[in-house]
């Protein structure tokens, strides 16, 4: 028996007055998900634990059975792996934005007006060397970058240069440990920030943007310093050959760090315009080869973070239409859940548990006939935590070792 795990990023929400105090998922017409709930086993999942508000990276790690307290080392490495960096054990990785600052390094715009074509700018700041340390920069999606600091005796215990707000000044990166290696790393990173700024300010592309009245991308805002976690592979843990389908680079990076085969799907953008049909088709094909397929769908989260609960509802309805063929799959366990709740009203992640449904031949059933945050309270799974999911799935496919005799 195979497993298809569909993680709909930020699927769960809170009741919204404008939706008659229903959530986007409750309000959405989701006959296929409801059918899965009717025939399968539902419940509520705390991606990490009760009262933990997870980021997407941490929510994912926990759901895959990797205790984030042990394995989470900050998001930089997942971003870096996502853009294609092959990290060494000594590299320190940041995620970052191209941003716009004034002469006093006051942040005018954290995303340089959501600049997209940053290839030339990245080239201009990639490969800078100072004090025996090399800075490697790769373009991420949109305005994003990954920055890898490569050298001897570096530390990742560093604060962000990104104040995470506009109309504030760029912060100096500070050492978070009182060690020579840490102070040294902070110093050279700050020097890199300064030098890259000087390069960017004068870059022809930015001068051209200013002439056109666009915001110049003249600052790299860095955050999430981290080193590569020693993650045991998904295969070594579960004996399952696994593949991942995700538009977002961070999710690809995370899957790659777990040793999953990342499958590229044309039209999978990690955004609202993503080709869900193509992703479902790719997942179905992958199930012929792999034991476990992880399918990530991002935009439900982004739309909620933009506060657009109507678009979130419509996006969920699109997903529901496209999953119809999955109900016909034989010998496959289908799991639908989320990595966290995203409140469309608050425009941020919350700690609420997320609905989960597991569907497949011979599974225990319950009285749940619709799939949403409220209905699954009465499901047989009850309340589970991320770390419980993989054992439950292994049990369903007959690969959970017995404890005792």
Q: Among 10, 55, 140, 248, which residue sits at the site for its own copies (rule: CB under 8 A)?
A: 55
Length of the chain, in residues:
405
Q: State residue 365 phi and psi, 5-degree precision.
A: -120, 175
Q: Taking the complex as a whole, how short is the minimal distance between the CB of residue 211 and its own copies, in angstroms?
A: 36
C-alpha closest to that of 354 among 53, 4, 22, 20: 53
Alpha carbon 204 to chain centroid distance?
33
CB of 378 to its own copies, least distance (A): 6
- Least separation in angstroms between residue 396's CB and its own copies is 8
Which part of the chain contacts its own copies (CB under 8 A), choosing from 135-143, 255-263, 279-287, 356-364?
356-364
CA distance readout (Å), 190 to 145, 195, 221: 17, 9, 11
* Alpha-carbon gap, residue 159 to 224, rounded angstroms: 8
**19 near its own copies, judged by CB under 8 A:** no
Site string for its own copies, 65-94 (x = CB under 8 A): ---x---x-xx-------------------
DSSP state of 262: E
Closer Cβ to its own copies, 185 or 343, answer by number: 343
**Which of 56, 242, 342, 372 forms a contact with its own copies (CB under 8 A)?**
56
CB 3 within 8 A of CB 240: yes
Which C-beta is closer to its own copies: that of 218 or that of 226?
226
121 or 389: CB nearest its own copies? 389
Do 127 and 158 meet the contact criterion of CB atoms below 8 Å apart?
Answer: no
Return the residue matching tokens 């025939």. 39
Cα–Cα distance between 390 and 397 in angstroms, integer? 11
From the list 53, 134, 197, 241, which residue makes contact with its own copies (rule: CB under 8 A)? 53
Can residue 199 be called a binding residue for its own copies (CB under 8 A)? no
Quote the CA–CA distance of 295 and 245 in Å, as a whole number.
Answer: 5
Binding site for its own copies (CB under 8 A): 14-15, 21, 44, 48, 50-59, 61, 68, 72, 74-75, 224, 343, 345-346, 348-353, 362-367, 373-374, 377-380, 382-385, 388-392, 395, 398, 400-405
């Amino acid at each position: 028996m195979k497993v298809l795990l569909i993680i709909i990023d930020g699927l769960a929400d809170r009741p919204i007055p404008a939706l008659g105090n229903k959530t986007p998922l409750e309000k959405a017409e989701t006959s296929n998900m409801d059918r899965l709930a009717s025939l399968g086993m539902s419940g509520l999942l705390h991606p990490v634990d009760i009262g933990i508000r997870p980021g997407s990276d941490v929510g994912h790690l926990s759901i895959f059975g990797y205790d984030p307290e042990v394995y989470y080392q900050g998001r930089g490495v997942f971003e870096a792996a996502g853009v294609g960096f092959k990290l060494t054990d000594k590299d320190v990785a940041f995620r970052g934005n191209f941003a716009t600052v004034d002469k006093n390094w006051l942040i005018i715009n954290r995303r340089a007006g959501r600049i997209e074509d940053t290839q030339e700018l990245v080239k201009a700041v990639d490969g800078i060397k100072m004090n025996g340390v090399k800075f490697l920069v790769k373009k991420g999606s949109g305005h994003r970058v990954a920055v890898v600091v490569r050298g001897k005796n570096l530390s990742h215990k560093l604060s962000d240069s990104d104040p995470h707000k506009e109309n504030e000044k760029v912060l100096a990166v500070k050492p978070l440990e009182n060690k020579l290696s840490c102070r040294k790393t902070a110093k050279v990173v700050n020097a890199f920030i300064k030098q890259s700024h000087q390069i960017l300010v004068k870059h022809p592309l930015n001068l051209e943007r200013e002439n056109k009245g666009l915001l110049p991308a003249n600052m790299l805002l860095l955050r999430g310093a981290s080193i590569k976690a020693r993650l045991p592979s998904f295969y070594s843990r579960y004996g399952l050959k696994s593949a991942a389908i995700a538009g977002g680079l961070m999710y690809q990076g995370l899957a790659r760090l777990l040793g999953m085969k990342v499958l590229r799907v044309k039209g999978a953008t990690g955004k609202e315009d993503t080709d869900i049909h193509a992703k479902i088709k790719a997942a179905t094909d992958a199930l012929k080869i792999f034991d476990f397929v992880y399918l990530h769908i991002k935009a439900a989260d982004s739309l909620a973070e933009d506060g657009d609960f109507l678009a979130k509802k419509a996006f969920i309805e699109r997903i529901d239409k496209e999953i119809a063929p999955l109900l016909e799959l034989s010998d496959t366990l289908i799991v639908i859940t989320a990595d966290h709740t995203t409140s469309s009203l608050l425009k941020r992640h919350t700690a609420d548990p997320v609905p989960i449904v597991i569907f497949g031949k011979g599974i225990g059933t319950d009285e749940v006939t619709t799939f949403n945050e409220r209905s699954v309270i009465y499901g047989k799974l009850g309340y589970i935590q991320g770390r419980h999911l993989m054992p439950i799935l292994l049990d369903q496919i007959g690969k959970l070792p017995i404890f005792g005799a």
